[in-house]
Structure formats: structure tokens, C-alpha cells
A and B are shown apart, each in its own frame.
Chain A
Amino acid sequence: GQNIDQPTEMTATEGAIVQINCTYQTSGFNGLFWYQQHAGEAPTFLSYNVLDGLEEKGRFSSFLSRSKGYSYLLLKELQMKDSASYLCAVNDYKLSFGAGTTVTVRA
């Protein structure tokens, strides 16, 4: 079976940094995706990790440790528009999603 855990909610201040952790125990693994989803909209792609280490893309970075079954998404220089749900998804041909972490950015 698939077991993917993320915190439910996080709150941070504009300009700050927030780290969203994701732990997984899955029957198969071919990488991990991070998606952003605003309320009532479809998810949009943020990052993909298949090898251990850090992937940086502008204000967003994602880290993967396959041996630990662990990933995190790092959001820097937070902006109000970053308030959204962030989903980690394990890739095993089909994507299995965590429950999502709702990030609220406050002024």
C-alpha cells in the first residue's frame, strides 16, 4: 500500500521561509513530485526529484532522501500568492498523493 504523510497546515510571514516535509512508505518508487494547488483549481507542477539531493528552482527547492523515505519542499521569500495547498506525490507509474499541506502566508 501507499502511505504518504504531510503536515496539515503551516502559517508563515511574508518574506520568510517555510519547509514542508513529506514522508512516504510506498510499494514502488520512481521519484517524487511536488505540486501547488489553489482552492478550486487543478494542481500545478513545482518540482521533481528522482535522485537524492537538493533541486533548486528560483524561490522553491526540493530535497529527497530515498533511504529515509523523506522529502521536503522549501519556499523562500514567501509572497502572499504562495498561500495554497502543497501536495507531495510519489511516482510509481501512477501518482499517489499525500493529503496536502495548506500554507497560509500572513502580511
Chain B
Amino acid sequence: GAVVSQHPSRVICKSGTSVKIECRSLDFQATTMFWYRQFPKQSLMLMATSNEGSKATYEQGVEKDKFLINHASLTLSTLTVTSAHPEDSSFYICSARDVQGGMNTEAFFGQGTRLTVV
């Protein structure tokens, strides 16, 4: 199956600093990437939909100025958590769909990033 690479897998940062998470589709082109957040023993909550070359669409309740998303190419999307606080500590996962597959193709997930803000 297709491969989505997410980096870093784990990061610890100090409160007030910013952290960038990268999501790359390695063997297919993804016009759309999705960013999720997952708290322990809870499901994946969609944060935003990232479209190549345009602004991301954020879900209700997600602060767009805090979670900056950039999708500069068909293979790369980045999520930057700005001025991180301990409550931002979570598991962040990206997913991507093959641009040629249409709506009914499966979404491939990155490995996830465990963010801990101290």
C-alpha cells in the first residue's frame, strides 16, 4: 500500500515554543491531507483539512492561528503548533489520499507524532 511518512515520531518541547510536524506522501500525490489529534483512549478528532496550494479548512473549535498548516506541494504538508502549552500534548496523526483515486479511496496514515509540552 501507499506510504505516508510523518516526522518526528516523538518530540518534547518547552512551553511557549513552536513545533513543526511534517507529513509526506512517499509514493503517490495527495492533493488533500488531513490532520488529526488523538487523546489517550479516545478516537481521532479531525483538526483540519489541508489542500495543496490553498488555505486549510479548520474544524470548529480548532484555533487556526495556533495550529498552522501549510500544504506547499502534492507530497508535503506541515502542521506547526505555535506557542505550545501542556494542554497541547497529544498524539497528532496525518493522513493522505491518492489524488487519482477519488473520494472512495482509503486514507493512508502517517506514523503519528507524540508531542509532550513541558
Which residues in A have some Cβ–Cβ distance to B below 8 Å? 30-31, 33, 35, 40-45, 48, 50, 87, 91, 93-100, 102
Cβ of B109 and Cβ of A44 under 8 Å apart? yes
Whole-angstrom distance from the CB of A53 to the nearest CB of chain B?
A: 16
A35, B95: Cα distance in complex, Å: 13
A45, B93: Cα distance in complex, Å: 14
Cβ of A50 and Cβ of B44 under 8 Å apart? no
| A95 touching B103 in the complex, CB below 8 Å, given contacts A41-B112, A87-B44 | no
Residues of B within 8 A of A30 (CB): 103-104
Residues of B within 8 A of A42 (CB): 6, 93, 109-112
A48, B106: Cα distance in complex, Å: 8
Residues of B within 8 A of A41 (CB): 111-112
Cβ of B104 and Cβ of A31 under 8 Å apart? yes
Whole-angstrom distance from the CB of A4 to the nearest CB of chain B?
A: 8
Identity of the chain B residue whose Cβ is nearest the Cβ of A2 in the assembled complex: B46
Whole-angstrom distance from the CB of A92 to the nearest CB of chain B?
A: 9
| A99 touching B106 in the complex, CB below 8 Å, given contacts A41-B111, A42-B111, A42-B112 | no
Residues of B within 8 A of A96 (CB): 46
Residues of B within 8 A of A93 (CB): 103
Cβ of B1 and Cβ of A87 under 8 Å apart? no
Residues of A within 8 A of B106 (CB): 33, 45, 48
| A97 touching B114 in the complex, CB below 8 Å, given contacts A45-B1, A45-B106, A50-B104 | no
Residues of B within 8 A of A98 (CB): 43
Identity of the chain A residue whose Cβ is nearest the Cβ of B57 in the assembled complex: A94
Partner of B104, one of A45, A91, A99, A100: A91
Whole-angstrom distance from the CB of B108 to the nearest CB of chain A?
A: 8
